[in-house]
Amino acid sequence: MPPIMPRAKSPIQRATILLLVICFMGQLAWTIENMYFNTFLYNSVYAGASQAAVDGSISVMSAISKMVALSAATAVITTFIMGTLSDKMKKRKLFISVGYIAWGIVTAAFGFISKENIAAILGSSADEIKILSTAVWAVIIMDCIMTFMGSTSNDSVFNAWVTDVTNPSNRPKVETVFAALPVVAMVVVMGVGSLAQAGTISYQVFFLSLGAFVMLCGVLGLFTLQDPEFKAEEKETNSSYWSDLFYGFRPSVIKENAGLYLTLVASCLYAIAVQVFFPYLLIYIQYVVIPQSEGINLMTASSIIPMAIAVVFLVVGIVLLLKLANKSKSKAYIIGTVCFIVGLTGLGFAKGLVQTVVAIAPALIGYAVLMIQLAASVRDFTPKGKSGLFQGIRMIFNVLLPMVIGPKLGEIASVNSNTTYLDEYGVAQICPTSDMFIYAAVVSVLVLIPLVVLIKKGYLKNNAEVNA
């Protein structure tokens, strides 16, 4: 009897694994940028600075707001240019792989930004205010460089590649997996990042380690990733590069793809609501939620039971709504939005860790369902063979406007509350407040407007109708 040989993975299995690895590594990098560059400013760059230096330079809340906005602008410009270029060249592999390698290198380089290194560069004549301001702007500029690399490889080309290799019938499943990966990436990054926040490991080790994994992913892509096969009509490149660059702004294109643009408006409003609080979330937990929870024993029944119920409610809610989406996308959209609004409102009034965990459950249900369904709908409405052309438009609605407007609203909410905390050096710093969740809830209500239009015009078909 011949020996039983292990069954080789099919091309579909290999492609799926590769897609998951690339997506996961990209989410690692974006999670670092979206969550830990902010804490890096708080806990490393501003730490140890005198009150005079803090008062004389850009405020930390303003620095975060500017960093997010400039990063968003960089992402959109990059996506327009590189997404269109990848459509013209039909070479997704090169853009993704090389971009990931450069992305990892820049991520690793963040660990070398410090007031001490900046002081060494500026010389002994530089005062403390100049050193702190320069260090802050070094972080902001490096963030823009990192964003250029990430947007080239991930936002524009990888997203276009995913659209190329999927179809309307399997995209909800793909988006469900993609929605889970940011959560997994967040857990991994927060697990390591919490050590950096606590000072157990240095931020240098933190950025170097995660940057190395992103670089490794790019190297892997060079040897394993394959460009999608395009039909003859999808390979047409008669139009000029500059014409393609502004393709999505044409009135005729907008009219022909009304469902796509209505979905993008809904996605934009949803993303603005998220960005109101997301850049400040870890800082809020570190300096507001945890101090409010002092004296609370989290191992008692009064703490464990509500948190366990919240977790069960979260998992069951997401599963049920995603199943509902297969039968009725419109109902899933509306219920998901309402959950998001209710959860954000609850977070606005929550005090302490237990109340925050309970309130966050419906918010996360709405967050996950809306993210999955909106992303899938955008791909469904994107014309075949022109996915790269629309990535720039997608970035305007999903990144530029949300990341300019959202963090500014969060900054306004926190500054108006005039809440500060004293760091370990006795320096007063502006602190995020729960008011930002109320601002986010108000924005979330507006999501219902484009959703209702989509429903009334019959754009939100269920999967059975799409397959038919």
Within-domain flag for 3 = no
CA dist 44 and 39 (Å) reads 8
Full domain range(s) for residue 306: 14-225+241-467
Instruction: Give the pLDDT score at 450.
Output: 93
Rounded to 10 degrees, what is the CA torsion of 360, 363, 368, 369?
A: 150
Instruction: Give the pLDDT score at 321.
Output: 62
- 3-class DSSP state for residue 321? helix
Kindly state the tokens that stand for 106. Answer: 């820049």
Instruction: Give the pLDDT score at 360.
Output: 82
Instruction: Give the pLDDT score at 324.
Output: 61
- 3-class DSSP state for residue 260? helix
CA dist 332 and 312 (Å) reads 19
Find the helix or strand (DSSP H, E) in which 420 lies.
strand 420-422
Instruction: Give the pLDDT score at 6.
Output: 43
Of the candidates 357, 356, 359, 353, the residue with the CA atom closest to the CA atom of residue 296: 353
Instruction: Give the pLDDT score at 168.
Output: 64
| 299 DSSP 8-state letter | T
Within-domain flag for 399 = yes
Q: Which residue has the tokens 């690399």?
A: 149
Instruction: Give the pLDDT score at 239.
Output: 55
Instruction: Give the pLDDT score at 314.
Output: 59
Taking 70 as the pLDDT cut, the residues of the chain under it are: 1-16, 83-84, 87, 89-90, 167-173, 175-176, 179-180, 183, 187, 190, 194, 197-199, 227-247, 292-326, 385-389, 391-392, 421-428, 461-468
Within-domain flag for 152 = yes
Tell me the residue type at 347.
Answer: L
The total number of structural domains that make up the chain: 1
CA dist 451 and 262 (Å) reads 8
Q: Which residue has the tokens 């499943």?
A: 173
pTM for the structure as a whole: 0.70
- CA–centroid distance for 441 within its chain: 19
Within-domain flag for 4 = no
- CA–centroid distance for 142 within its chain: 18
Contact 326, 336 (CB under 8 A): no
Kindly state the tokens that stand for 238. Answer: 């008669």
Instruction: Give the pLDDT score at 279.
Output: 83
Q: Which residue has the tokens 């606590």?
A: 198
In degrees rounded to 5, what are phi and psi of residue 430? -65, 140
Kindly state the tokens that stand for 276. Answer: 């109101």
CATH of the domain at 28: 1.20.1250.20
Within-domain flag for 236 = no
Within-domain flag for 441 = yes
